[in-house]
Amino acid sequence: MLVVFPLGLLFTATVFDAIDLFGGSSTFGLVGYWDIAAGLIGAVLAAVFGFVDWLGIPGGTRAKRVGRLHAGGNLVVVVLFFVSWLVRTGGASHVVTTPLFVLQVVALVLSGGTAWLGGELVDRLGIGVDRDANPDAPSSLSRGRASGRTAHA
C-alpha cells in the first residue's frame, strides 16, 4: 500500500489537473494540488522503507543495480511533482498551468518505468513470488528462465 497510494494519488492529480486545464471546474485543479501533496508525503514514506530494503540487498548483484535505478527514477518523479506542487503553492486557487501539467505527464511516464523496475525487484529478484527469484536472476524480459522450468498449463 505504501507504493500504490502515492502512485494513485499522483496519477489522479494529473487526471484532475487535465480536467481543470481543458475547461472543467477549477475545483478539479484544487483537488489535484492536494492529491500531489498527499502523494508526495506517501512517496517519501515509501522511499524510507524502500531504502531499508535496498540496504539489505547483497552488493554487486543485479538486484542492487535495479534498486539503484528504481530509486533514482523515483527521486526524479518526486522532484518533478514537488516542483509542480511548489509553483502552485503561491497561487490562491492552486491551479495548474500547461507547463506544469506537461511536467506531471513526463513524471507519470517515468513512473511507469520505475514501477516496472519495482516489479522486477519484488517479483523476479526477491520476495518469493517466483521460485527462481534471487538477487542475480535475469530480467523477466529475457527468454527462458534461470532454471529452465516450463510453465504449467
Q: In the chain, what are the domain boundaries?
A: 4-124
Distance CA 77, CA 9 (A): 13
pTM: 0.81
Place of cell 484544487: 30
* pLDDT score recorded for residue 24: 85
Q: What is the number of alpha carbons within 13 Å of residue 118 lying toward its C-beta?
A: 20
Residue 128, pLDDT above cutoff 70: no
Which of the two residues, 39 and 139, has the higher pLDDT score?
A: 39
Q: What rounded mean pLDDT belongs to the chain?
A: 85
How far is 105 from 14, CA to CA, in rounded Å?
Answer: 7
Cβ atoms within 10 Å of 54's Cβ, excluding its own: 17
**Residue 125 in contact with residue 108, Cβ under 8 Å?**
no
Band the pLDDT of 127: cuts 50, 70, 90.
very low
Confidence check: pLDDT of 144 > 90: no
